[in-house]
Chains A and B, each alone.
Chain A
Amino acid sequence: MFRSFNKWCFGAIAFLLFAGTFDAQAQGEGLFKSKCSTCHQPHKDGTGPKLFEVRKKWADGGAKEGSIIKWVNNWQSAAASDPYAEGVSKVKSAAMNLFPDLTKEQIISIFDYVDAQPDPATAVTTPGGPTDGSMDPNAATEQSGSSMIWILLAVVFVTIILAVGGVRRQLKAAINERDGIDSKEDASYAEEFRTWAWKNKTYVGIMSLILVILLIVTGIQGLGTIGVVEAYQPSQPINFPHTVHAGVNGIDCKYCHNSVTKSKSAGIPTVNVCMNCHKQINGRDAAQQAKIKALYAAAGWDGNEYTGKSTPIVWNKVHVLPDHVYFNHSQHVVVGGVDCKQCHGDMTKQLETARVVPIEELNKVEGNIPLTKPTLTMGWCIECHQEKGIAEGPLDGKKDGYYDEIHRRLLNNDKSLYNKYLEDGKVTVKELGGWECAKCHY
C-alpha cells in the first residue's frame, strides 16, 4: 500500500517537474536551504515549526490572505496586523529572523518547494542505507549448530565403544566357560588394561611420554594467553555502530573522543556531545529509534525539551590495560602523531560494538605498521616502538614540534650518534629510549 502511495507520490512530483515549475522549484530549494533550513524542516518541528502545507494551515486557521508572506518578511508587523499571526508569535520561545529582502514570488517558491517534499515517515527506507548494529542471526545459529553436531558424534562413538567392549567381554566369558576356566579370572577393566599395558610397555611408555610433553606444551601456551584480550568485545548498553557515525557521516574520531589530544584517556563522549546531533536525529527505522530512545532517556530529552532528569549510561570498558602500565593517549596522538587506526583498526567499518581488534586485522589496514604480537600485549607495544620512526627532522628550520627539537639537539650535540640512528633511514622510538622499562612502568 505504501509502495503504491509512494509511486503515486513520485508520479505527482514528476508531473509537477514536467509542468514547468522546475525553475521555481530550484529557486525555492536554494532559498529554503540557505535561509530557512537552519531552523525549519518540511516535516519535522525543529527550532522552528515544520513548514509542510503551512499556507493551508494558516488559511484554515483563519489568517488574513497574504499575511504569511508578510510574516516571512517581518513577523512583527504581521503579528501587529493579523490576530492569527499574533497567536503564532506566542507559540515558540525563540524568535524568527527577519527577511525583508525576500520578494513575494521568492517566498511562494519556497513554500512550493516545501509542499512538494515527500514525507520521509511514509517513504520506504532506502535500501543499502545504514543498518543497525545487530549481529547476523544466521552466523550465530550456524556456530551453535556445528558444536551440537560434535557433541552428538561424541555420544554416538562412546556408545559404540561401550557396546563393542560389552560384546567382547561377554564373548570372552563364554570362551572361558567353554574351556572350563574359572570365571573368577574374569578381570575388571582396570586389571585388564594393566595386563595389556604391561605386555606392550614400550609403546605405552612412548605414548605416555608424548602425552605428557603435549600437556606441558599446551599448558605453557595456555598460560601465555592469560591476560591477552584480543577480540574482546563486551556488551554495551546501546549497540553503537561506528560505521554510521565515523563512516557514513564522516565524524572525526576526535570529536566524540575529544580528550584524546589533551589527556591520558581518549574519553567516552558525554551525553551532551551525542545530543549535539541527536537532538535532531531520532533514527530512520525502528531499531535505530529504539537505540536513540535510550540516549534520550539518559539525556533527559523528551523530544521537545530537556527535562533535567538525566541518568548516566554505563558503558563497558573495552581496552583495559593493567594498572602497572602507563599509557598516555595525548602523548601518542599529538606528539607521536600516531593515527587512531594503528591500534584501533578501521572503526568506520566496525558495525557492532567496539572491540579489541586482533593484530591480523590491524595489519590489513592501509598505512599501519605491520606487527606480529597480539594486540594490547607488551610485545606489541615494544615491537611498534622499535619499528616506528619519529617525525622527520626540521629540514626547513622552522618547525617547532617536540621531535623537531630532538632532531636539532642530536644534530648539534652528537652527530656520529645521529648518523648511527639514521642508518635505517629513521630515528625510532626505541633509539630515543622507547624500550626503557621506566618509560611505561613506574
Chain B
Amino acid sequence: MNKIFKAIASISGVAVLGLIFGSCSSNPDSAGLEYMPDMYRSPAIEPYVDYGEVKGSLDVSKTLKISALVPPMRTIPYYGTNEEEVLMMLPYHRLPNAVFAKSHGYYGWDFTSNNELDYEYLQAAADVNPYKITAENAEKIFAKGKELYSANCMHCHGEKGDGNGPMVTAGSYVGAANLGGLTIAEGQMFYSIYYGRNAMGGHASLVNKKEIWTLIHYIHKFQNPSYGTFDEKGLPISAPSAAVADTTVKM
C-alpha cells in the first residue's frame, strides 16, 4: 500500500515539474499558453490567418492561399441606390498600356488594345470630375480631401503640395511632383493616381474612385487658392482653372 502511494506520489511529482518546465516556451514566435486554442484559432475565415491547418488537419492546397481573400472576378461592390454615386464607383473605363506590366507590375491586367504609349493617358484629358463641387458640399469635400491627402500624399508631395514632403526633406526620396504647378487635365490626374505615372506607383488599391476625385478637388486648391469658393448665389467665384491638356508630345 505504502509502496503504491510512494510510486504515485513520485510519478505525479515528476509530471507536475515536467508540466511547469514544459510550459516555459522558448520559441519567441509563440504567443504562449492559451486556455482554449480552438477559441483563438477560428475555423471561420478571418483575415491574416493561414488556413493550411485547421484544428490539426493539414491542407497544403490552402496554405497561404485562403486568407485575405479577393472578391470574385468581374464583381463590383454595392454602393447604394444613389445613381450619381454608383456611376462614379463603377470600374474605371480607361485601361493601362501594356508597358505598365514592366514599369508598374500590372501582370494579368486588361490592357488597352492601342499600343501607342500614353494613348489612354492623353484620351483621359477628356474626362471630367463627376463629383461636382457646390456651395453646400465644398467644405465637406475639402475636409475629406485634407484627411485623404495627409494620409496618402503628404509624405511625398508635401503639406502645401509643393513636392517637399517629409520624405523629400529627409533626403529619402527625390522627384515628387509640385502639385500646384501641374498643367494636366483632371482626367489625367485621375489616370495618374489610379495607375501611377513615371516614378509614382498606382494608388488604386489605396483610395477608391470617389476618394480620388475628392483628392483632385483638393489638388485644384493648390493650383488655385480660390477654387471651391462660392458667392451668395452659389456661383463659383473663380471658375476652376481651365483644364490645360498635356501639351507635351509623347512617343
Query: How many Å from the CB of B24 to the closest CB on chain A?
Result: 11
The winner among A41, A249, A299, A317 for most chain B CB atoms within 10 A is A249
Query: How many Å from the CB of B203 to the closest CB on chain A?
Result: 7
- A234, B29: Cβ atoms under 8 Å? yes
Assuming the contacts A38-B177, A250-B166, asked whether A93 and B201 have C-beta atoms less than 8 A apart, the reply is: no
- B residues less than 8 Å from A76 (CB atoms): 249
Residues of B within 8 A of A (CB-CB), count: 60
Which residue on B lies nearest to A38, using beta carbons? B175
- A299, B199: Cβ atoms under 8 Å? no
Among A41, A98, A254, which residue has its beta carbon within 8 angstroms of that of B248? A98
Whether B17 is near chain A, meaning CB under 8 Å from some CB there, is: no
Query: How many Å from the CB of B102 to the closest CB on chain A?
Result: 4
A-contact 0/1 string along B142-168, CB 8 Å cutoff = 000000001110111000000101110
Whether A193 is near chain B, meaning CB under 8 Å from some CB there, is: no
B-contact 0/1 string along A202-226, CB 8 Å cutoff = 0000000000000000000000011
- A234, B167: Cβ atoms under 8 Å? no
Whether B32 is near chain A, meaning CB under 8 Å from some CB there, is: yes
Whether B90 is near chain A, meaning CB under 8 Å from some CB there, is: no
Query: How many Å from the CB of B130 to the closest CB on chain A?
Result: 21
Which residue on B lies nearest to A234, using beta carbons? B29
Which residue on A lies nearest to B63, using beta carbons? A314
Whether B174 is near chain A, meaning CB under 8 Å from some CB there, is: yes
- A residues less than 8 Å from B35 (CB atoms): 226-227
- A residues less than 8 Å from B9 (CB atoms): none
Assuming the contacts A76-B249, A229-B32, A320-B31, asked whether A268 and B48 have C-beta atoms less than 8 A apart, the reply is: yes
- A37, B202: Cβ atoms under 8 Å? no
- B151, A252: Cβ atoms under 8 Å? yes
- A residues less than 8 Å from B150 (CB atoms): 252
5 further A-B contacts with Cβ under 8 Å, apart from A46-B175, A226-B34, A249-B166, are A248-B170, A252-B152, A254-B151, A255-B206, A277-B172
- B residues less than 8 Å from A300 (CB atoms): 105
Whether B40 is near chain A, meaning CB under 8 Å from some CB there, is: yes
Stretch of A107-115, A136-144, A304-312 at the chain-chain interface: A304-312
Among B42, B118, B154, B200, which residue has its beta carbon within 8 angstroms of that of A252? B154
- A317, B48: Cβ atoms under 8 Å? yes
Q: Show 19 A/B contacts (Cβ-Cβ < 8 Å), sorted by A.
A: A34-B181, A95-B248, A95-B249, A97-B248, A98-B248, A229-B32, A234-B28, A258-B206, A263-B47, A270-B205, A272-B205, A275-B105, A276-B203, A280-B174, A306-B105, A308-B101, A308-B105, A317-B49, A324-B39
Which residue on A lies nearest to B104, using beta carbons? A306
Whether A233 is near chain B, meaning CB under 8 Å from some CB there, is: yes
- A residues less than 8 Å from B34 (CB atoms): 226-227, 322
Whether B82 is near chain A, meaning CB under 8 Å from some CB there, is: no
A-contact 0/1 string along B201-213, CB 8 Å cutoff = 1110110000000
Q: How far is the CA of A212 from the CA of B69 in the complex (A)?
A: 53
Assuming the contacts A234-B28, A324-B39, asked whether A41 and B167 have C-beta atoms less than 8 A apart, the reply is: no
- A residues less than 8 Å from B177 (CB atoms): 38
- B170, A305: Cβ atoms under 8 Å? no
- A residues less than 8 Å from B103 (CB atoms): 93-94, 305-306
Q: How far is the CA of A97 from the CA of B184 in the complex (A)?
A: 13
Among B47, B175, B181, which residue has its beta carbon within 8 angstroms of that of A264? B47
- A323, B101: Cβ atoms under 8 Å? no
The 9 closest A-B pairs by CB, nearest first: A250-B166, A276-B201, A323-B42, A306-B105, A305-B102, A95-B251, A254-B151, A308-B107, A47-B198
A82-124 residues at the B interface, CB under 8 angstroms: 89, 93-95, 97-98
A273-293 residues at the B interface, CB under 8 angstroms: 273, 275-277, 279-281
Query: How many Å from the CB of A97 to the closest CB on chain B?
Result: 5
- A98, B154: Cβ atoms under 8 Å? no
Whether A301 is near chain B, meaning CB under 8 Å from some CB there, is: yes
Query: How many Å from the CB of A162 to the closest CB on chain B?
Result: 21
- A residues less than 8 Å from B154 (CB atoms): 250, 252
- A residues less than 8 Å from B87 (CB atoms): none
Whether B33 is near chain A, meaning CB under 8 Å from some CB there, is: yes
- B residues less than 8 Å from A294 (CB atoms): none
- B105, A235: Cβ atoms under 8 Å? no
Whether A378 is near chain B, meaning CB under 8 Å from some CB there, is: no
Query: How many Å from the CB of A34 to the closest CB on chain B?
Result: 7
Among A232, A255, A272, A323, which residue has its beta carbon within 8 angstroms of that of B155? A255
- B117, A280: Cβ atoms under 8 Å? no
Whether B233 is near chain A, meaning CB under 8 Å from some CB there, is: no
- A residues less than 8 Å from B36 (CB atoms): 322
B-contact 0/1 string along A384-400, CB 8 Å cutoff = 00000000000000000
Whether A21 is near chain B, meaning CB under 8 Å from some CB there, is: no
Assuming the contacts A250-B166, A281-B172, A322-B40, asked whether A299 and B151 have C-beta atoms less than 8 A apart, the reply is: no
